[in-house]
Structure 1
């Protein structure tokens, strides 16, 4: 009799557990069917207004001195003395090298003596002519004798002139034994030493002399860049456009900006057929001598834009070859628009088409947006987005 209540209580417990499991299952199913409320994204926006911008086109340059003169011997001989040191600043006309002049000095003495002898012969011939003139006039001697004397005088005079030319050449060669600076500047590397034999036909120069009081930054510009250059700067002629280029900044290879500004001076007369580029030259003062020939760096040609629209590059997205922004429309809906980019100024794009003044664009998170999506705009200080300031640090 005691086993029946026990069986019934066991069934009761099983039924209660089943109800609990069913309740939990139904509760779980009910939670899965609840849909979370979609949140409206809060994104920063800004209003686009006309502004001004400066754009820098950057080019790699090679520096050259005002004059880079190779110093070469013009006579053969032994290098007797080196009168300067590498890197020394020398004046125009200062002696740099001395070649043994013993041979050339003797050649000059010999040529000078021959000149004096020839000149003496010419004077004697002139005396003979002067002596015969009155004799011929008085018919004492035949005119043929006077004609012969005059011919002898002309021959003696020619010999004297030839001897004088030979002596002058010998004097020039003697002068070449002392090699002087053709320009003021800094002495380059000297690969020769005292006692070396040097010749006028040798391939290697004695040294290079660089006049670096003014330096030239030389660079090339492609044909398309040159076409852009002609449109970017005001002026009816190319020289007027060159004059319209603002002062140029030079950045050296170590990243430092040279303390003096330069001026674009000239553009070469034609394009290089092998490279398809045209050469330009910017002049920089170098009073302190900080620049040297062969230095490298970059120059930045600045150009100003006025009444243009600046859009932060972070507010754009690129799709294939198109640049797009998200414009805020009625009801805070976004619409993607393709813009035309004329150039870059710092972290901003210069936009010429696709948006108009007064348009509001989304400045962040646009890669997650689709046309027609509604956002909650954050503008002004709350979004941390303001109209982009002009910058001049971008290059092409």
Structure 2
């Protein structure tokens, strides 16, 4: 009996121990059952990325070129004295506007007044001698008709009269020259324009031919701008016009605008006058001269400017924003295109000149295609997207630059810093 009881106690203890050991396992099984995938909610699918696009539409784009130029006066004249003498007075304000004929300097006129008086006195003597010679010739002519004077006497009197007439003419010329010299003691402006600084002061003794200019006058309204264009560009333009790739301007004239050194646009348009017929052998460039109105003297000779010249019209051009152009590892251009099934794909393109904030597309795109301009970081080839239509590019957007050429000067009035930053960011956008 005692042995049987002692045998049962360990058995009961062992059963209790096994139950205690099985309790965590049971709890674990209950937890696993609660986490059954069939009973848990599935995660939502990722959202379809949104991308902005522009619809490709052909448009007429003016062929604009930004060319470097220098401002030159329409006329320039040096103020010089035509007589010698002492400068006694300056009558102009340096840097002011003067008119043709204005007196600028006065030279001591006393010696020339004396010369004029002497010339007038000599003329009076010769005129008196002429009166006497004429009377003598007339008297002998009457005596000759009555045969009371010889032919030789009359011939001598007639010759004396002619000599006296010649002496009078010479005296008049001397007097006229003395009058001119006296008048030239007033040094006058040869042209209308803006006069520079005085190069000589009062008290200076000047001699024609040996003394330099007294001042310089430049006509600034209108004013010239001499711009340069390479022979290669000019020939390419002519070929494009001849082939019909570019249309000629309706009036066959070129309107030119100026971009100042601070990238502001000069408010008045200029007119192309001519293109030089000779290329500079050292630079391979030709000079084009443009005339601009300059009523407020905003343009000064020697200023550096950029001239924006319209040379033709591309009547069926395709252009996309600069940020739409992506670059492959080997530098080729491509764009992302939204297909009809709302998926995106890469599409290689051939880019032409820059047109303001846009690239002109030579090939690779056709009308009606949708080109991605925003949301590149969210897309991969063949991915489904939610396209958002953005404002398409229209109108005249800026100057054309060849894709392989840098502009002649930094900045573009039609391009903001934000657009430029976007273009640069797009150019280095990594491929997905």
**Which category describes the TM-score, using the shorter chain as reference length?**
0.7 to 0.9
- Alignment of structure 1 residues 129-140 onto 2, 5 Å: 129-140=137-148
- Alignment of structure 1 residues 286-365 onto 2, 5 Å: 286-302=294-310, 304-317=313-326, 323-325=333-335, 332=343, 334=345, 336-339=347-350, 341=352, 343-363=353-373
Kept in 2, the 8 Å contact 1:325–1:339? The answer is no
CA deviation profile, 1:312-341 (whole Å, cap 9, x unmatched):
233334677964445566874735434252
Kept in 1, the 8 Å contact 2:270–2:292? The answer is yes
C-alpha separation in 1, matches of 2:300 and 2:79: 18
C-alpha separation in 2, matches of 1:65 and 1:276: 25
Kept in 2, the 8 Å contact 1:380–1:386? The answer is no
Kept in 2, the 8 Å contact 1:56–1:392? The answer is no
Distance 1:48 1:54, change over 3 A: same
1:380 match: secondary structure: strand
Q: TM-score, normalised by structure 2?
A: 0.68
Kept in 1, the 8 Å contact 2:223–2:294? The answer is yes
- Alignment of structure 1 residues 183-262 onto 2, 5 Å: 183-202=191-210, 204-227=212-235, 231=241, 234=248, 240-242=251-253, 245-246=254-255, 248-259=256-267, 261-262=268-269
Q: How many Å apart are 1:85 and its aligned residue?
A: 1.4
C-alpha separation in 2, matches of 1:210 and 1:151: 55
C-alpha separation in 2, matches of 1:234 and 1:357: 24
C-alpha separation in 2, matches of 1:366 and 1:144: 118
Q: TM-score, normalised by structure 1?
A: 0.74
Distance 1:277 1:182, change over 3 A: same
Structure 2, gaps ≥5 residues long: 1-47, 402-432
CA deviation profile, 1:213-254 (whole Å, cap 9, x unmatched):
433333233323434555356369xxx522xx34x3333334
- Alignment of structure 1 residues 278-289 onto 2, 5 Å: 278-289=286-297
CA deviation profile, 1:363-396 (whole Å, cap 9, x unmatched):
46989999xx433345224xxx553344533354
Which residue in the other structure is 2:12 paired with?
Answer: none
Which residue in the other structure is 1:387 paired with?
Answer: 392
Matched, 1:144 2:158: no
- Alignment of structure 1 residues 121-132 onto 2, 5 Å: 121-132=129-140
Aligned length: 345
Kept in 2, the 8 Å contact 1:46–1:379? The answer is no
CA deviation profile, 1:82-129 (whole Å, cap 9, x unmatched):
111112223332211011122222222222222222233233222222
Matched, 1:117 2:125: yes
Q: How many Å apart are 1:185 and its aligned residue?
A: 2.7
C-alpha separation in 2, matches of 1:355 and 1:163: 89
Distance 1:395 1:329, change over 3 A: closer
- Alignment of structure 1 residues 361-376 onto 2, 5 Å: 361-363=371-373, 373-376=381-384
C-alpha separation in 1, matches of 2:65 and 2:132: 78
Distance 1:135 1:210, change over 3 A: same
Kept in 2, the 8 Å contact 1:43–1:375? The answer is no
Structure number with greater Rg is 2
Kept in 2, the 8 Å contact 1:333–1:375? The answer is yes
Over aligned residue pairs, what C-alpha RMSD do you find? 3.5
Structure 1, gaps ≥5 residues long: 1-39
C-alpha separation in 2, matches of 1:294 and 1:60: 12
- Alignment of structure 1 residues 40-189 onto 2, 5 Å: 45-189=53-197
1:241 match: secondary structure: coil
Distance 1:362 1:268, change over 3 A: closer
Distance 1:395 1:47, change over 3 A: closer
Kept in 1, the 8 Å contact 2:112–2:182? The answer is yes
C-alpha separation in 1, matches of 2:200 and 2:90: 9
Q: How many Å apart are 1:190 and its aligned residue?
A: 0.9
